[in-house]
Amino acid sequence: MKDYRVRISIRNERLLSAIEGAGYPSARQCSIANGYPDHKVGTLVSGARKPLDSTTGKPTKFCKEVLEIVGKNIEDCFTPRQLKGFKRNSYQVKVDEKELKQLVSTSNNQEKSLLESELNKKISEVFSKRLTAKQEKVLRLYYGIGCMPETIDTISALVNTSRSRIDQTCKEAIKKLKHISSASTLLSTGFYERFTKIDVDSKKINESEVYLQREQSIKGAV
């Protein structure tokens, strides 16, 4: 009997690489920056949306628009098989522990460690700019950022502050981090995906992504 189920997502690597090469960190940000619903470009990357019109056999209007955005022709971004769309864009396989360890190679673990280090560096930069020393300490302890998460009672004892003041300090810190310049920087690191206890509504995320994309465009033009 197998030990694990692994979900594998199928993506068009050619198109995704072209999107990244055009300066967009993700298909979602490409959608937002160009005025589409946030998921729309992703449907082309996943094969859920076919690039060719089923009647004419020619690229759809949306496919042409995306190719123009990334500055590529259709042969650069789609294999003959991908032009037909995908019947499935994900599937599950059952593996045992030995097979799973082979899938997660040493090189992948090294890459993960590097990304973790970069994430922690970015978080520290934002925290030092936006938060007081006490706010940073309380936030890290409460949400387990760079340490194990602690209870309100434990934090209260560590910083010699009442429970109600700890709660207030957390709220003040989160409010500062929701400023669009901070939120966009944290968003680019994957902060909100890792620390899911920190609640940020989708509107704020969209605003931050647009801000981040605009800042990257400005830097690229300089």
Please, what is the end-to-end C-alpha distance for the chain in angstroms? 58
Taking 90 as the threshold, does the pLDDT of residue 70 lie above it? yes
Determine the Cα–Cα distance for residues 102 and 191; give it in Å rounded to an integer.
Answer: 28
Task: Write down the domain spans for the chain.
Answer: 9-90, 106-221
Taking 90 as the threshold, does the pLDDT of residue 64 lie above it? yes
| Tokens linked to 161 | 């502050």
Percent of the chain with pLDDT strictly greater than 70:
67
**Number of C-beta neighbours around residue 75 at 10 A:** 10
Taking 50 as the threshold, does the pLDDT of residue 87 lie above it? yes
pLDDT at 72 (0 to 100): 93
